[in-house]
Amino acid sequence: MVVSVDGGCFCGSVRYHVELTSSDEAHGSLCHCRNCKKAYGGGFMTAVKIPISCFSYSKGNAKVHAMDNGSGVLVTREFCDMCGSSILEYPESTKETHRFITLGTLDDPTKFEPVYEIFTKDRLNWVSPVPGARQRAKL
């Protein structure tokens, strides 16, 4: 069944559309790494991995920032340059295939739930594992 969802930044300047042929194409995850804490300003990053072909911007243009994440992996992040909301990210390895959109920018963030967690070695003490989610100490 086709899953059609929309999302956007805090100020509304940037909007996007996601159209999946099935909800199986989306994979929710949490990343506890230090870079995600810095980049997103929270205790962890909450992402939904989707095929790049399912994603399109419907309004505005996101600002693009690419940087080595500290372990030799180039990570590109796109965000609204008016309000700073993070829209998505992708490592070099999925540049041509997938996008990790930020769960919180979806108009309905209840649509997808985390199925795995990575960099759990950097999980903050007060954060509990998501029940049923696969746990990986690193990637």
Q: Given the complex with Zn ion, which of 23 and 34 has the nearer CB atom?
A: 34
Nearer to Zn ion, 3 or 81 (CB): 81
Q: Quote the least distance from Cβ 37 to Zn ion, whole Å.
A: 8
Cβ nearer to Zn ion, comparing 3 with 82: 82
Work out whether strand 86-91 and strand 3-8 pair parallel, antiparallel, or are unpaired.
unpaired
* CB closer to Zn ion out of 79 and 112: 79
Q: Report in angstroms how near the CB of residue 115 gets to Zn ion at its nearest.
A: 16
Closest-CA residue to 107 (of 13, 16, 3): 16
* Burial label, 13 (beta-carbon count in 10 A; 0-12, 13-18, 19+): middle
Q: Residue numbers of the site for Zn ion (CB under 5 A)?
A: 9, 11, 13, 31, 33, 36, 80, 82-83
Query: Residue 39 Cβ, how far from Zn ion at the closest point, in Å?
Result: 8
Closest approach of Cβ 21 to Zn ion, in Å? Answer: 28
Return d(Cα 49, Cα 66) in angstroms, integer.
18
Count other Cβ atoms within 10 Å, centred on residue 82: 14
